[in-house]
Amino acid sequence: MFLPQEIIRLKRDGYALSTADIGSFVAGLTDGSVSEGQAAAFAMAVYFKGMDQTERVALLRAMTGSGAILDWSREGLGGPVLDKHSTGGVGDKVSLLLAPIIAACGGYVPMISGRGLGHTGGTLDKMEAIPGYDGRPDLHRLKNMVRRVGCAIVGATDEIAPADRRLYAIRDVTATVESIDLITASILSKKLAAGLNALVLDVKFGSGAFMESRDQARRLAEMLVQTAGDAGLPARALLTDMEQVLGHSAGNALEVRECLSILAGGVAESRLWRVTRALCEEMLVLSGLASDGVVAARLVDQAIDTGAAAERFARMVAVLGGPPDLIERPERHLPTAPVVVPVFADHSGHVVAQDARALGLAVVALGGGRTRPQDGVDPRVGLDQVVPIGTLVGPDRPLCLVHAADRAAADAVVCSVRNAYVIGETADAAADPVAERVGGP
């Protein structure tokens, strides 16, 4: 007889759970026989007592198997099925570039993405800033899309890892989101359900990340890579710096516009391109699409220089209901805020430091993010022309531009935006945003 309280008691008292116990509990999450209170107690017990590797893999497999698992074997794909996951950051728009680049290099990318919560943006929110874009196609349409175009950036359907969806909602209101064991199962269950051949992880650290310290990020990266591998999914991770906004913008439509410019051949902000290119190279080598990093770098450059990545992105948008000329005429389609206000420093000097979290929270305050899962977002608002560390600012060079729904909303965040910067006489050059690699030879 299945008794959820007995499984909770075992974990509460520090015992390792059997694969059968974990499977039964996850099945109960899925069919509703485990109550909200029992799910919360289980999450709290795991938060305090942790899990060993056998338990983590069992939890991952059970959550993956709680719903549909995509099978690509009958789709006639000409290459590997790949994906990337980021732990979230301010201005993190890498997915919008990586998916079409990898598709142009011969990979197939069913990128199941999430919405933003707290100070970090969500990839699905960015894509849904495009008018008409359907970010929630059913699984049949998703598979057809990936086969035809090579990539699809969409949200999870109800069929994918339903146990994770229920447990995550409970974790969010019980202060157990930070459990590395539960984070690992949550992230990887959706990726295994997507039927991937390989996965690359972008684990961020710094003021704009959920893991502020590099040691925390490394621990999570190691657990993700090991657990994915033990469950049969080859994975690698990069630790990347999130001490400042990634790219020039933070805000949904603004970030889409920045990515469209890069895909069309415009100059990318150096840190954004460094992270994007490194993740693409890692994915191409891990999947066997490139023999080494030199070949991978050449393939990435070709995808941009020839316009192949832009063509994949344009086809993806058009097939999912968006405008077919988005890349050529973004100003016609992407929503814009009616009020744009520059924010200047109190005195001239160089940007010495930037509080990325504070800037992310400013975007939320403008309406561009959410504090509860059910909140809507205003795709128009955010920050643009955000200057990086080392930049000389003064009366003729603002720290950034605030895009707001009205003047009162803009004025309400100007002070917090200004205070997010430290200005000094000199500033060291920013460190390489790709700090460390986890996994592999």
Per-residue pLDDT of the chain (441 residues; tens, 9 = 90+): 779 999 999 999 999 999 999 999 999 999 999 999 999 999 999 999 999 999 999 999 999 999 999 999 999 899 999 999 999 899 999 999 999 999 999 999 999 887 766 677 789 999 999 999 999 999 999 999 999 999 999 988 888 999 998 898 888 778 887 899 999 999 999 999 999 999 999 999 999 888 889 999 999 999 999 999 999 999 999 999 999 999 999 999 999 999 999 999 999 999 999 999 999 999 999 999 999 999 999 999 999 999 999 999 999 999 999 999 999 999 999 999 999 999 999 999 999 999 999 999 999 999 998 766 667 899 999 999 999 999 999 988 999 999 999 999 999 999 999 999 999 988 777 789 999 999 877
**Is 271 an active-site residue?**
no
Reference 256, options 96, 399, 363, 101; nearest CA is 96
Catalytic residue among 11, 56, 61, 85: 85
Active-site residue 347, yes or no?
no
Identify the CA nearest to 317 among candidates 138, 116, 128, 111.
Answer: 128
- From 56, 84, 350, 357, the catalytic residue: 84
Number of Cβ atoms within 10 Å of the Cβ of 177: 17
pLDDT of 170: 86
Contacts of 396 (CB under 8 A, 6+ apart): none
In the residue annotation, 83 being an active-site residue is answered as: yes
**How far is Cα 304 from Cα 165, in angstroms, rounded to an integer?**
36
Among residues 93, 171, 277, 315, the one annotated as catalytic is 171
CATH architecture of 4-64: Up-down Bundle (1.20)
89: nearest Cα among 359, 283, 270, 278: 359
Say which amino acid occupies 116: G
Domain 336-424 belongs in CATH node 3.90.1170.30? yes
Among candidate residues 24, 61, 83, 380, the one labeled active-site is: 83
85 in active site: yes
The ranges assigned to domains in the chain are: 4-64, 82-329, 336-424
CA–chain centroid gap for 338, Å, is 28
DSSP-derived secondary structure letter, 17: P
pLDDT at 168: 83
Q: At what angle do helices 214-230 and 53-64 cross, to 10 degrees?
A: 70
User: Which secondary-structure segment (H or E) carries 412?
Assistant: helix 407-419
Q: How far is 24 from 20, CA to CA, in rounded Å?
A: 6
Beta bridge mates, 388? none
Catalytic residue among 126, 143, 166, 190: 190
Rounded Cα distance between 256 and 356, Å, is 19
Residue 164 appears among annotated catalytic residues = no
Is 84 one of the catalytic residues? yes
User: Smallest Cα–Cα separation from 57: which of 217, 184, 170?
Assistant: 184
Indicate which residue of 126, 191, 257, 350 is catalytic: 191
Rounded distance, CA 226 to CA 233, Å?
9
Please answer whether residues 188 and 228 qualify as being in contact, where contact means their C-beta atoms are separated by less than 8 angstroms.
yes
Cα gap 27→167, rounded to integer Å: 12
> Could you confirm whether 136 is annotated as catalytic?
no
Contact 411, 405 (CB under 8 A): no
Looking at residue 169, what is its pLDDT?
80
Contacts of 3 (CB under 8 A, 6+ apart): none
Residue type, 312: R
Q: Provide the 10 A C-beta neighbour count for residue 90.
A: 32
Q: What is the CATH number of domain 82-329?
A: 3.40.1030.10
Yes or no: say if 235 and 198 are a contact pair by the CB < 8 Å rule. yes
H or E segment to which residue 110 belongs: strand 109-113
Q: What pLDDT shows up at residue 79? A: 96
pLDDT confidence of residue 419: 97
Region at 267 (left for phi over 0; alpha for psi -120 to 50; beta for the rest): beta
- Residue of 24, 30, 66, 86 marked catalytic: 86
Active-site residue identified among 24, 64, 123, 240: 123
Please confirm, yes or no, whether 186 is among the known catalytic residues: yes
Q: Is 123 a catalytic residue?
A: yes
Tell me whether residue 148 is exposed, middle or buried, using C-beta atoms within 10 angstroms of its C-beta: 0 to 12, 13 to 18, 19 or more: exposed
* pLDDT for the residue 373: 65
In this prediction, residue 118 carries a pLDDT of 67
